[in-house]
Chain A
Amino acid sequence: MQTGSADEIAEALRGTGYLTDDALATVTFLALRMERPLLLEGEPGTGKTALAEAIAQALDLPLVRLQCYEGIDATQALYDWDFPRQILHLRALEAAGAGATDVEEAEKSLYDERFLLARPVLAALQQSPAVLLVDEVDRADDEFEAFLLEVLSTYQVTIPELGTVAAATPPVVVLTSNRTRELHDALKRRCLYHWIDHPGLEREVAIVRSRAPEVSEELARQVVGVVQRLRETDLLKPPGVAETLDWARALHHLGTVELDLESSARTLGALVKYRDDATKVQHALDQMLRA
């Protein structure tokens, strides 16, 4: 794909079914050209993870995903040695006539690249050019952030037994955060920052049409109209684009042609996930669809 300008990026992403607005296209363009990680924050279900997938698809690069969780450490993110296979190798050497082999040689052969289990970060560096998605980085601990910072600033990893693995071309790095905690400034400074908002009416309709082509234009428009208005009401968890898609698909599967009270009540579970919200939405739908 051409990465000469923000418009070309937007075009290429559209080709994969991911519709960006100008700001996001510009930021993606900058991240690619400046070779800086892209830090995405925003409401759940606004397409943070999907962007990384779309970039990988558009650039035709492998996507390497690192899902963060509490207590994640370097052996789960970087590399580990495959001890069972090393032992197997040693036993094989023994069986082949141990006396003949040089001890030094045998030892050296144990720390070979084929016994290395490449975890996501190392895999991304080895495979690069690749897209490395560090998902929900806010779930990991502070210490892990410091470790990420190190990798992201040099794009290389040192393995004591083997040496340094450096990426030929730096991978495209996308970090996502749900803001359950504030990330460290040092990490943020390395990254380009973008806050993904809920899309506007026209763009959301387009997203639904491109992601769920089976849903009719008419239904998509109605669904998005309702969802957009629901976002303005006071809900515990305003529905994201992901919920819009789910709801549109659910309605389609029930054979709904036009949104009405009955069909929306039956599919409400796809849209709202809190009991308090369900009653509020029910009420709001009553008013909207009656009118």
Chain B
Amino acid sequence: MTTSPVRDADEVLVGFTRALRAAGVPVTQDRTHGYLAAVALVGLGDARAVYDAGRATLCASPDDLVRYDQVHQAYFNGRDGLPRARQAQAGVPSYSGLPLSEDGLEAAADDADAEVARAMASDVEVLRHRDIGELTAAEKHRLNALFASLRPRHPVRRTPRHEAWHRGSVDASRTLRSSLRRMGEPAEIRWRRRGHRPRRVVLLIDVSGSMSSYAEALLRLAHRMTQAGPVETFTVGTRLTHVTRALRVRDPERALVAAGDTVPDWSGGTRLGETLRIFLERWGRRGLARGAVVVVFSDGWERGDAALLAEQMAALRRVAHRVVWVNPHRGKSGYEPVQQGVVAALPYCHDFLAGHSLATYAELLEVVGRA
């Protein structure tokens, strides 16, 4: 037998991994190697085993498995219906920390003109309190730079385990152990205290149509918080999407583009109760929301069943340490919490906050930090 048919088979398999990568499964070179090795072991003749080998070597999470099945179906059984390839990140300009405004920069450089500098400062102050939903594109652009000024403080929890400390209670075992290490010579007394660990924060961001003018700002906020500590972010709408990985990218603009590519249901409807149920089932109850500070960003325009939402909020409250509801409309004058969703959810929230401006986000960070 010549080697060429084998090589052809390898090419087909590598092509499959490419298709998989295009569909969003993070297939790396070494995974491809593992795949080829595994297929060689099970033999090409057994289609079912080749399929299983690919699942084991190329996938790393249940989400990957779903995509794998789609691509496998499309690639090996007629090539129509391939999931739409995701656009590479090219062509998106990346911004970073622009000065507040062109005029402002010049004014700051020319510090003789203190009047203008003061005007600029108050300008920033106004912008901090303006409703993000009503900003012009230019103002939004300036506001984006201001997100860097938010200082997230991470909540902490006490752990059952102790940590060494310079005072507190006597750490008998450590003291004894260090004396044993010196062959029984008495050593210094060690002290300990209860350990502290950062508490997990879970953000659930409503990206439905009614929230679309705030969604970008909220993702920026999530990005800012993700950079500071253990934060898990999900977008909710008609579907639940895990966007934490995208938001871990340090540069905010890139992170936002990556998150935007991940979320399939921008500006769709809201089925908050349903997506919350999926969140609790697949992530929350297993441990992600346990003892965590859960922040829900939504205006509460629920298209689904409000009773289901109430039930899920009750379940959420039972597992979470603190449940915070942030509503962009809350800060507006004349707002009454009458939307079906809000009415259903409110009894189960510890805090009900406004979330329409940068200043309110700073407040939110304060509440989360103290939780």
Contact = CB atoms under 8 A, between A and B. Distances in A.
Interface of A: 6, 22-23, 26-27, 29-31, 33-34, 36, 41, 70-71, 83-84, 86-87, 90, 138, 178-182, 185, 188-189, 192-195, 234, 236-237, 276
A-B interface, 7 closest residue pairs, ranked by CB to CB distance from nearest: A180-B287, A83-B180, A26-B52, A192-B56, A188-B60, A23-B52, A71-B161
Interface in B296-328: 315
> Interface SS of chain A: helix, strand, loop or mixed?
helix
Contact of B55 (A189, A193, A236, A237): A193
A26 B43 CA distance: 11
Given A30-B38, A41-B62, A236 B183 contact: no
B52 A181 contact: no
A36 B31 CA distance: 12
Contacts of A27: 52-53, 55-56
B65 interface: yes
B34 interface: yes
Interface of B: 26, 28, 30-31, 34, 37-38, 41-42, 48-49, 52-53, 55-57, 59-62, 65, 159, 161, 177, 180-181, 183-184, 195, 244-245, 277, 281, 283, 285-288, 290, 315
B41 A34 contact: yes
Contacts of A84: 180
Given A26-B42, A84-B180, A87-B184, A185 B49 contact: no
A83 B181 contact: yes
Nearest to A80: B177
B161 A34 contact: no
Contacts of A237: 285
Contact of A90 (B28, B65, B183): B183
Contacts of B26: 185
A70 B157 CA distance: 13
A241 B41 CA distance: 31
A118 B159 CA distance: 27
16 contacts: A6-B42, A22-B48, A23-B55, A26-B49, A33-B41, A71-B161, A138-B287, A179-B286, A180-B286, A181-B288, A188-B60, A193-B56, A194-B56, A195-B62, A195-B65, A236-B315
Contact of A70 (B53, B161, B184): B161
